[in-house]
Amino acid sequence: MLLPALLTVGPPARSLTSGTTDLPNANSPIWASGLNEDEDEDEDEDEEEHTLNVFKRMAAGALMMTVPVTAAVAQSAIIEGVVDKINESSANITLKHGPAPSLGFKEAVTMVYEVSDRAMLKQLKVGDKVKFEAEGGDEGFMVTKIEKSGK
């Protein structure tokens, strides 16, 4: 009967003192650190406090980074386009527009959008240049605000 070969993952374990693949012995500095239990507890508390402080600083940094990002998203949320088709009965509008980073579009597209309020469609006609805001969701994209741009 043939036995499968044993596989090892990664480099062999090394002792911090000898540089060999042998495990450290009881006289090794790893095991004989000279610390008593109280010092071990103090060291654990210091390490825990240090870790907590690192997380606090990371959270504060992440919070500070969201302020400029939120402002950038708000500035790029307005999309310019042209009305291609209006369907008041199904409360949707087809808009041709350029890139829309706020919706994840890097290229120009022509898309059908639902509208949050059918009354928005009454002020528009095919060919109107518009500025609009839209949101993406599980059901698709919805125009939340739209107005003629006058260009």
Q: What is the pLDDT of residues 23-45, one digit of tens each?
A: 555 555 555 555 555 556 667 77
pLDDT score for 72: 42
CB atoms within 10 A of CB 69: 9
pLDDT digits (tens, 9 = 90+) for 41-86: 667 778 888 887 776 777 766 666 655 544 444 444 799 999 999 9
**What is the structure's pLDDT at 150?**
75
Q: What angle do CA 128, 132, 133 make, to 5 degrees?
A: 165
Residue closest to 111 by CA, chosen among 92, 128, 125: 92
pLDDT in tens, 105-150: 899 999 999 999 999 999 999 999 999 999 988 888 999 999 998 7
* Residues 61, 54 contacting (CB under 8 angstroms): no
Torsion from C-alpha of 26, 31, 36, 38, nearest 10 degrees: -150
Q: Which pLDDT score, from 0 to 100, does residue 134 have?
A: 93
Of the candidates 144, 91, 98, which has an alpha carbon nearest to the alpha carbon of residue 122? 91
Residues 6+ positions from 83 with CB-CB distance below 8 Å: 93, 94, 95, 124, 125, 126, 127, 128, 130
0.75 exceeded by pTM: no
Mean pLDDT confidence for 3-8 = 51
**pLDDT value for 71:** 43
